[in-house]
Amino acid sequence: MKKVCSLLKDDGLFLLHTIGSKTSQKTNDSWIHKYIFPNSMLPSAKQISSAIEGVFVLEDWHNFGSDYDKTLMHWFENLKSGWNTLKKNYDERFFRMWKYYLLSCAGSFRARYNQLWQIVLSPKGIPGGYRAHYK
C-alpha cells in the first residue's frame, strides 16, 4: 500500500478491485491454489483495513458480492455454449476444471462467504468527501 500511495498525486485516487473473504486467512483453497491462482489469497476486510491504516484515507467501500454469482453463472453458460468450438483446442479435463471452478465460486458468493469489493482510497482525503457516481 505504501508503494501505491507513493505513486499517487496528493489528490489522486486508488481503486482497489478485489475478491475478499469474510474471514482472515493466509492461504487460498488448495485446489484453486494448485490449478487456477497459484500463491493467491483472498484478503478479509480486517486484513485490507490493517494494510491501509496510516497510509490511505478510506473514501468508499462497495460490496458487489451478492451479484457476482450471476456473473460466474453467465461465464459458465458461455463455457457450455461455446464448448463445441473450444474443445478443438482444449480437452475434457480443462472443461471439468473450469466447470468446477466457476460453479464452486458461484456457490461461495451465493453463500456470501466470498465478496467482491471496490475500495476507493486517497492519500490525503478528498475535501468535502468522495462521492461515487453510479449510472
> What are the CA-CA distances from residue 77 to residues 62, 85, 104, 114 (Å)?
27, 14, 14, 21
- Catalytic pick from 16, 48, 52, 105? 105
Contact between residue 13 and residue 121 where contact means Cβ atoms under 8 Å apart: yes
Distance CA 11, CA 122 (A): 7
Residue 73 lies in a domain: yes
Q: What is the CATH number of the domain that holds 41?
A: 3.40.50.150
* Stretch 15-43: mean pLDDT: 92
The overall pTM is greater than 0.95: no
Distance CA 123, CA 4 (A): 10
Residue 128 lies in a domain: no
Domain that holds residue 87: 2-122
Task: For residue range 62-117, list pLDDT tens digits in order.
Answer: 999 999 999 999 999 999 999 999 999 999 999 999 999 999 999 999 999 999 99
Residue 5: active-site member: no
Distance CA 95, CA 87 (A): 8
Residue 135 lies in a domain: no
3-state DSSP call for residue 22? Answer: coil
- How many independent structural domains does the chain possess? 1
Residue 86 lies in a domain: yes
